[in-house]
Amino acid sequence: MNNDFEVSIEQEVAAVQMVVLGAGASRATCPRGDANGKLLPLMNDFAKILSLEGLFRSWSIDPNQNFESIFSDLYQRKETTKINQIQEAVEAYFGDLELSDTPTIYDHLVLSLRKHDLIATFNWDPLLIYAYRRSSQARTGPSAPCFSAWKYEGGILCRGPSDWIHRKPLQQMW
């Protein structure tokens, strides 16, 4: 090694690799939709994809706004009834998503993980956990990574399986 910025091959292989998935990752994984053709929304077309436009208009909300802005505004105004209606629609939509039978970007990403690597995401859909579960059938032993999710609920930070928001019985999740 010639300087302080170089590392050995052993150091490079041992280093933790972290992938942060942001807006657009799920759509990039399924650009033509999920296994059933359901499109994956972005924040700027969320209301259209989830058919929330009529609901938003009935509340005098412009459905073409960024979804995070709409939701944040409702949250700040403590409009729980509206928030609950949106959450029910979101959970129903995302709860029905399915991965295609052909490998996706998520499948390749999950299969490339080593035990000490990390994927961080704030995406709402369950496709990453589905790819993980599919890959776990092919991977076992000490190099198989684990998978968990965190959510903030009722003022408490909770840990659990990634697709728990869909309220499926545990045996269906794992």
pLDDT (tens digit per residue) in 28-82? 999 999 999 999 999 899 999 999 999 999 999 999 999 989 999 999 999 999 9
Provide the percentage of residues in the chain whose pLDDT is more than 70: 74
Hey, where are the domains in the chain? 14-37+98-173, 46-95
Q: What is the pLDDT of residue 128?
A: 85
Q: What is the pLDDT of residue 66?
A: 92
156 vs 14: which has the higher pLDDT: 14
Confidence of residue 23 (pLDDT cuts 50, 70, 90): confident
Instruction: Say whether pLDDT at 1 is over 50.
Output: yes
Average of per-residue pLDDT across 22-29: 87
Instruction: Say whether pLDDT at 121 is over 90.
Output: no
Task: Assess contact for 113 and 145: CB atoms under 8 A.
Answer: yes
How far is the CA of 9 from the CAs of 5, 6, 14, 120, 142, in angstroms?
13, 10, 9, 25, 21
Q: What is the pLDDT of residue 167?
A: 40
Average of per-residue pLDDT across 90-98: 88
Q: Choose among 22, 49, 56: nearest CA to 124.
A: 22
Average of per-residue pLDDT across 137-159: 52
Report residue 81: phi and psi, to 5°: -60, -45
Sign, Cα dihedral of 101, 105, 106, 108: positive
For 3, the enclosing helix (H) or strand (E) is none
| Residues 6+ positions from 111 with CB-CB distance below 8 Å | 135, 138, 139
How far is the CA of 82 from the CAs of 61, 143, 149, 168, in angstroms?
11, 45, 26, 23
